[in-house]
Structure 1
């Protein structure tokens, strides 16, 4: 069991760290966690991730009904669908990270893989990242598209940890706020490297070596 107060503190700590290092700005972005009772904590709508207050985070029960805190982020539906599609997910983070958004504006490498496998840690820590076509922020139709992508990837044996919303930013998830944040950071750095250098991707044998030694899910 993870104490809810500890989860609230972890959300605020990760939000402040992401804001301080420029991964989010103004009131863009949101963070949620799944609680042990089947409910969720999520950052409030229009909240600045750099100045979150633990007791003001929105608490939502397993049926999606808010029970306390400020008004929940409009992306709650998407977060809940990610949790439903991936039972291992315990934290979801969405940002408008500069290089990732710039990548969608300039043109991604491929709609099924927004950046190629150019570094070993991208392959090991992130994996495939598909592009989700543009919809307005908070459009519930996005949740269906993301859930379908997650389910298809799991069926193919290459589970996702991230998707990229065209012109908006990434949604990443993992077992804890710290681990989800690490996925986001690795993904944003890989996008930056790709935009700067456009290197050749790792070869098939190199990726297979990462599978054998580190269990990479590419």
Structure 2
């Protein structure tokens, strides 16, 4: 896909997320890899009203080379590109239910999304919660680097989800799947419910890596 078409796709998918309530105001940021660096939504921009020509471009060394000033949380994105070589896009949202899960003190920080549907297993996988640091703090990127590429999704405590994928659509769809699963878990909270068995999860993981 050409850079021009990728910019258009970022605008389209970002607008879709905004219009369906996955982000509000200027919350959230999205990036996608290109041959000579990456594209990322500008700082303080609204995902619902992006201009493809103003999307920021960062070169392979992290220098801002085109478009508006990049998101202040670019280090979150670069950490995934650095540690997961197959990463083609990263989506960071402040979506309601995933953020709610990130605020619960009872949530398992090493595996915070239970295997309640096959789709969250296949599209998202294990999700870890990273300790709270203020927005814009580079320590968040350092914590993602410390995971050494072991997961493609995290919840930033009291902040929201960050999801990586092999391409922009895959990353967006995985972020949507994570939010929907968090919604289901919050709806079922306090009620008895079934989880997928370990054997079922293993079967789904085998399928995930074959596709």
Cα offset for 1:209? 2.9
Tell me what 2:208 maps to.
Answer: 215
Tell me what 1:42 maps to.
Answer: 40
Within 5 Å, give how 1:148-163 maps onto structure 2: 148-151=146-149, 153=150, 160-163=151-154
User: Aligned residue pairs: how many?
Assistant: 207
Cα offset for 1:120? 0.9
Match of 1:181 among 169, 172, 179: 172
- Runs of 4 or more, structure 1, over 4 Å off, are none
Partners in 2 of 1:57 and 1:215 — Cα distance? 32
* Conservation of the 8 A alpha-carbon contact between 1:81 and 1:143: yes
* Conservation of the 8 A alpha-carbon contact between 1:90 and 1:173: yes
Cα offset for 1:137? 0.5
Partners in 2 of 1:44 and 1:215 — Cα distance? 33
Q: Which moved more, 1:58-67 or 1:100-109?
A: 100-109
Match of 2:66 among 68, 78, 86: 68
Tell me what 1:19 maps to.
Answer: 18
* Conservation of the 8 A alpha-carbon contact between 1:14 and 1:181: yes
Tell me what 1:146 maps to.
Answer: 144
Tell me what 1:116 maps to.
Answer: 114
Match of 2:194 among 197, 200, 214: 200
Tell me what 1:130 maps to.
Answer: 128
Cα offset for 1:164? 0.6
Partners in 1 of 2:38 and 2:208 — Cα distance? 30
- Aligned-pair Cα RMSD in Å: 1.5
Q: TM-score, normalized by length of structure 1?
A: 0.90
Tell me what 1:7 maps to.
Answer: 6
Cα offset for 1:108? 5.0
Partners in 2 of 1:17 and 1:5 — Cα distance? 19
Unaligned runs of 5+ in 1: 154-159
Partners in 1 of 2:41 and 2:202 — Cα distance? 39
After superposition, give the CA deviation of every residue in 1:31-88 in whole Å (9 maximum; x if it has no partner).
Answer: 1111112x11111000000000000011111111111111110011221121011110
After superposition, give the CA deviation of every residue in 1:173-203 in whole Å (9 maximum; x if it has no partner).
Answer: 1122111111001100110111111423211
Tell me what 1:190 maps to.
Answer: 181
Tell me what 2:96 maps to.
Answer: 98
Secondary structure of 2:204's match?
A: helix
Secondary structure of 2:127's match?
A: coil
Cα offset for 1:216? 5.7
Q: TM-score, normalized by length of structure 2?
A: 0.93
